Amino acid sequence: MARMSYRDAIRETTAEELRRDDSVYLIGEDVGRWGNLFGASAGLLEEFGPERICDSPISEAAMTGCAIGSALYGMRPIAEIMYIDFITIAMDQMINHGVKYHQLSNGQVRVPVVFRTQGGVGMRNSSQHSQSLENWFVNVPGLIVVMPSTPADLCGLLRSAVRSDNPVLLIEHKSLYFTRGEVPEGDYTIPFGVADIKRAGEDVTIIATSWMVLQALAAARTLADEGISCEVIDPRTLWPLDKQALIDSVKRTKHCVVVTEAPAEGGWSGEAASVVHEHCFAELRKPVRRVCGMRTGIPYGSDLEKAVVPDASWIGDAVRDVLA
């Protein structure tokens, strides 16, 4: 075990995968000289050189298409989109091509590419640099969508993503980069589709993703003082979804709150809530409650961005409400 930041877990895991497999390379804007906006690839250019740490021109479509094309012929790219907001420009390459080729080739072609990006609030970057867009991607058949919330999960899931022959979208969170945690040493991997119980509890199941896991844990600590025992589950991969873990938990606690930073409408929070309703209808004492970001562009004005996405107090109120 080593204690490190989420940001360092990205760098260490990337470096280890680059050392392990010559076909792995990193491509993205300012991943080399700058070592990524947050330092998540600092020093890698020196160790691996410009062919494996590729500073891309500001061309999200070309960079993404390039990653896909090279993955068709033996390379294992990690393509970094600096902000998830810029992924709109890469969407055609990802969705219409990268994710379709396996099926169109009747299984003969594999596209082992990792799309790494980051979303969410935390830097007062406002509405074109702070969005939570994961919901769009969960709706794409063939794409794996991963949102690690801890350094350890980042490490295990990034490693699995690099080694998977399926295309994987791994979404980091800008408010998580400097959070710290224990990371297992050695060849640590986490399979896709396996949720993690971040805190065990008995009275209510809180299903949360990414940075919201930290908010849910904070809420659970406060609620514990009031005598309410919360179980916090992090699905870690939005798709494939570990339905069984959600179902098993809610069958025990009989209450459920789903928390996402993204707005609720048309989103994954509805998917999670539906799974619970479909499988735990008999056990549920109250309908599932959703706690989600407001349906608005993320505002700039002083700390307003934090006011439009859930925090521990929103979650606490929702839990008290379903238990009332």
Partner 1 sequence: MSDNEQLMELYTQLLVLRHFDEFCYDLKMKDLIMNGFHPYSGQEAVAVGVCSLLREDDVVFSTHRPQGHSIAKGSSTRAVFCEMLGRRGGVSQGIGGPMQWIDKPHNFFCGSIVGSGLPIAAGVALAFKRQARDSVAVCFFGDGASNTGAFHEGMNLAAIWKLPALYICENNQYGEAMPVQEFVPVSRISQRATSYGLNGVSVDGMDVEAVLNATADALEQLRAGQGPVFIEMVTYRFRGHYGGDPEHTYRSREEIAVWRNRDPLTLARTRLLARGYSEETLDDLEASVQAEIEGDMEWALEQPFPTVEQATDHVMIPLGQD
Catalytic positions? 129
For residue 302, state whether it binds partner 1 (rule: CB under 8 A).
no
Number of Cβ atoms within 10 Å of the Cβ of 201: 20
Instruction: Using the CB atoms, write b or e for 178-193: b if 16+ within 10 Å.
Output: eeebebeeeeebbebb
SS3 letters across 185-208 = CCCCCCCCCCCEEEECCCCEEEEE
For residue 164, state whether it binds partner 1 (rule: CB under 8 A).
yes
The least distance separating partner 1 from the CB of residue 79, rounded to whole angstroms, comes to 10
Q: CA–CA separation, 38 vs 31, rounded Å?
A: 10
- Interface pick for partner 1 out of 43, 49, 59, 265 (rule CB under 8 A): 59
The least distance separating partner 1 from the CB of residue 166, rounded to whole angstroms, comes to 5
For residue 67, state whether it binds partner 1 (rule: CB under 8 A).
yes
For residue 103, state whether it binds partner 1 (rule: CB under 8 A).
yes
Q: CA–CA separation, 28 vs 172, rounded Å?
A: 15
For residue 104, state whether it binds partner 1 (rule: CB under 8 A).
yes
Contacts of 225 by beta carbon, 8 Å cutoff, 6+ apart: none
Integer angstrom CA distances of residue 68 from 71, 94, 110, 268: 5, 8, 10, 26
For residue 138, state whether it binds partner 1 (rule: CB under 8 A).
no
Q: Which residues pair with 106 in a beta bridge?
A: none
- Structure tokens belonging to residue 77: 């790219």
- Interface pick for partner 1 out of 15, 72, 138, 197 (rule CB under 8 A): 72
Q: CA–CA separation, 187 vs 185, rounded Å?
A: 7
- Interface pick for partner 1 out of 83, 101, 115, 177 (rule CB under 8 A): 101
Q: CA–CA separation, 175 vs 211, rounded Å?
A: 7
For residue 68, state whether it binds partner 1 (rule: CB under 8 A).
yes
For residue 102, state whether it binds partner 1 (rule: CB under 8 A).
yes
For residue 185, state whether it binds partner 1 (rule: CB under 8 A).
no
- Interface pick for partner 1 out of 42, 89, 138, 308 (rule CB under 8 A): 89
Segment near partner 1 (CB under 8 A); pick from 169-177, 190-198, 211-219, 284-292: 190-198
For residue 63, state whether it binds partner 1 (rule: CB under 8 A).
yes
The least distance separating partner 1 from the CB of residue 118, rounded to whole angstroms, comes to 22
User: Which residues contribute to the site for partner 1 (CB under 8 A)?
Assistant: 25, 51, 56-57, 59-75, 89, 92-93, 96-97, 100-110, 141-144, 164-166, 191-193, 240
